[in-house]
Amino acid sequence: MHGSVRRRFEVNRFIYAADGTFMNWVETETHVGTHVECPLHYLENGKDVASLPLETFMGEAVAVNLRTKRAQPITPMDLGDAGVRKGDIVLLWSGWNGGDRPVMSVEAAEWLLKTRVKMIGVDDSIGVEAPNSMATHDLLLRNDIPIIEGLSNLDGLKRDRFFFMALPLKVRGLDSSWVRAIALEGI
């Protein structure tokens, strides 16, 4: 389940006849749990997860605490004040739910693009889009800046800056991929 949308995820175990080992069939979609959306998610001829450089999905990250933004748009000033820099992976969280979640403004998405961040990520307490809009997806994905959705435990980070990685499956044709997101604070 992602946000309030119910998504199919089935795991069926079987015995592989050739050697008697246990294996699983997994039937789901690419937007289940923590996942990274790539340009192909939004653009017909966009890059798939296998076409973006591996370095896109790891590097220096900054956690942006937006607790003070209850039901307000996220602004460029919020990002600049948090120390977002060129090449960063930007992870946003607020602790709010439902209609109290802050949402990304078009101006903030434009600022992230101009700052040339590497990737953004959100937990369920942040709205990537304002209602009835796809402007953030358009601005970021059109410019090869992936979006991670479904992150968790961002409120447990002890540092604002750290090394982060969220590696997708390298499968051609996938618009998005499940990831295992890891923050390394002691490096």
CA distance readout (Å), 177 to 96, 139, 147, 164, 173: 26, 20, 11, 17, 10
Q: Model confidence over 116-139: pLDDT tens digits?
A: 999 999 999 999 998 888 999 999
Q: Are 149 and 176 in contact (CB under 8 A)?
A: no
Domain for residue 135, yes or no? yes
CA distance 27 to 11: 7
End-to-end Cα, the chain, rounded Å: 33
Q: Model confidence over 59-69: pLDDT tens digits?
A: 999 999 999 99
Q: Model confidence over 68-116: pLDDT tens digits?
A: 999 999 999 999 999 999 999 999 999 999 999 999 999 999 999 999 9
57 by DSSP, 3-state: which?
helix
**Positions marked catalytic:** 41
Domain for residue 9, yes or no? no
Q: Are 74 and 109 in contact (CB under 8 A)?
A: no
Residue type, 110: E
Give the domain range for residue 106: 30-184
Q: Kindly tell me if the per-residue pLDDT of 177 is higher than 60.
A: yes
Domain for residue 5, yes or no? no
CA distance 1 to 136: 22
Domain for residue 149, yes or no? yes
Domain for residue 162, yes or no? yes
CATH code at position 120? 3.50.30.50
| Domains: count for the chain | 1
Domain for residue 102, yes or no? yes
**Alpha-carbon dihedral sign for residues 149, 155, 157, 161:** positive
In angstroms and rounded to an integer, the radius of gyration of the C-alpha atoms of the chain is: 17
Domain for residue 12, yes or no? no
The pLDDT value recorded for residue 5 is: 60
Domain for residue 18, yes or no? no
DSSP H helices, 47-97, are 76-81
Q: What are phi and psi of 137, to 5 degrees?
A: -55, -45
